[in-house]
Amino acid sequence: MFIGLIRHYGKVDLIDKAVKVFREMGKSYNCARMTLNSVSYNVMIKMWLGNNDWEKAMKVFDEMLGREVEPTVVTYNSQIGFLCKTLY
């Protein structure tokens, strides 16, 4: 149920509400929250790049590195693809 709600909020660009659901699911409903991994970060990075928001995508990338989550080929390809489309 929570995953569906978070996805819905993400699709309609209500990211703050999606994050709130994620944070509250453990407190209010005693559910184990999902662990952020490279796939989670890649989804967030791709979402921000899809919204043409390089700065927010890079904040997520910096958080990824700060939490010692290893970037993947998808992480770098998303960034390179965005820059290629934007610059040329």
Shared-domain flag, residues 27 and 42: no
Shared-domain flag, residues 49 and 79: yes
Local confidence pLDDT in tens for the 88 residues of the chain? 777 887 788 778 777 777 788 778 777 777 776 788 898 889 889 988 988 999 999 999 999 999 999 999 999 999 999 999 998 7
Give me the DSSP letters along 62-82.
HHHHHTTPPP-HHHHHHHHHH
- Torsion angle, CA of 68/71/2/59, rounded to 10 degrees? 80
* pTM: predicted TM-score of the whole model, two decimal places: 0.69
What is the number of domains present in the chain?
A: 2
Shared-domain flag, residues 27 and 47: no
Domain containing 9: what range?
1-33
Shared-domain flag, residues 23 and 2: yes
Which residues neighbour 17 within 8 Å (Cβ) at sequence distance 6 or greater? 9
